[in-house]
Amino acid sequence: MNIYLIRHGRQSSRLCNVDVGLSEEGRRQSALVGGRLAFMNIDAVYSSHLIRAVETAREANGCWNAKHIIKKELKEISFGDMEGMTDEDIAGKFADFKKEQERMVKDLPYPGGECAADVIKRAMPVFEEIAGSGCKNVAVVTHGGVIRAITAAFLHMEPKDYRLLGNSLENCSITEVRWNEKTMRFSVERFNDYAHLEPYPELLRASWTDAEN
């Protein structure tokens, strides 16, 4: 079984983890990733319940016409007290936390929020459900923190090291995971693949004036 983890398209707000829809760029990204996987015979699409993930899944699914299953367990890592804030305000108010987090000595939860192990605990049962579904190709539209944390788990990395996997994933990038029924293991085949976006530099994060997604 092939599982295609897709980070949602660019959202319409630069505030931290607010539940908003896609921007125009996000809709374009979603259509492009749908086209990229159009010939992969997607059997099912899973997404988190957050609006940006649902809209990404629906837009991309226009190319697949697969059943869409929404799972709250696939929601973004909780940033706790940082949610609803700008990057600038976060950098000022939580400077000490961010500095300690960068050291990756332990799996720190965000103040009032979650750590990587929390995300893995709630999301892994969904992937186990997918593995047992009988599908051959499944798209999972979720969030950067979830993709990094669950990929770390598939690779048997310590949760504290999940931040080593991509400084910032491109929106609507593809991370491909394969489930082997014989070995009962997940393997990571590719990570943060955004070749479908490269012809459109205006859709890449490097061209944006702000860091938010």
Report whether pLDDT(211) > 60: no
- Residue ranges of alpha helices (H) inside the chain are 24-36, 51-60, 87-93, 95-103, 116-131, 144-154
pLDDT score recorded for residue 167: 85
Average pLDDT across the chain, whole number: 96
Give the residue-averaged pLDDT of 24-32.
Answer: 98
Model pTM?
A: 0.96
Class of 2-193 in CATH? alpha beta
User: Which tokens in the block code for residue 111?
Assistant: 């103040």
Calculate Rg over the CA atoms of the chain.
16
Cα(first)–Cα(last) distance of the chain, in Å?
30
Q: Mean per-residue pLDDT for 185-190? A: 98
What's residue 210's pLDDT?
61
Q: Would you list the domain boundaries of the chain?
A: 2-193
**Confidence band, pLDDT 50/70/90 cuts, at residue 130:** very high
Residues 98-123 pLDDT 10s: 999 999 999 999 999 999 999 999 99
Q: Do residues 191 and 5 touch, judged by C-beta distance below 8 A?
A: no
